[in-house]
Amino acid sequence: MMTRADDKVLSAIASLQGNPQFETFHDWLKESHAELMIATTLTKDEVLTRWNQGGSQALAEVLAMLRHPTRYK
């Protein structure tokens, strides 16, 4: 499980917004999240499905913080 981002992490995220290299990384995270959600729906193995769900939830939380870092303070 991921730990909650502290103010230092949220400040770092906010300062990176608009950086082209960071935006490339952010796009990759969004694509990875979408692919993981698709894989979760197609997986028949229950254990793997749970692992995928956990990964998807963690990525969703990171992406939410990236969209609105000030909401998490």
**Which residue ranges make up each domain of the chain?**
7-72
CA-CA distance, 73 to 70, in Å (whole number)? 6
User: Assign residue 6 a region: left if phi > 0, alpha if psi is -120 to 50, beta otherwise?
Assistant: beta
Q: Pick 4 or 37 by higher pLDDT.
A: 37
Please report, as a single letter, which amino acid is at residue 61.
Answer: E
* Confidence band, pLDDT 50/70/90 cuts, at residue 20: very high
* Residue-level pLDDT at 18: 87
- Listed in sequence order, the residues at least 6 apart from 7 whose beta carbon sits closer than 8 Å to its beta carbon are 73
Place of tokens 């917004």: 17
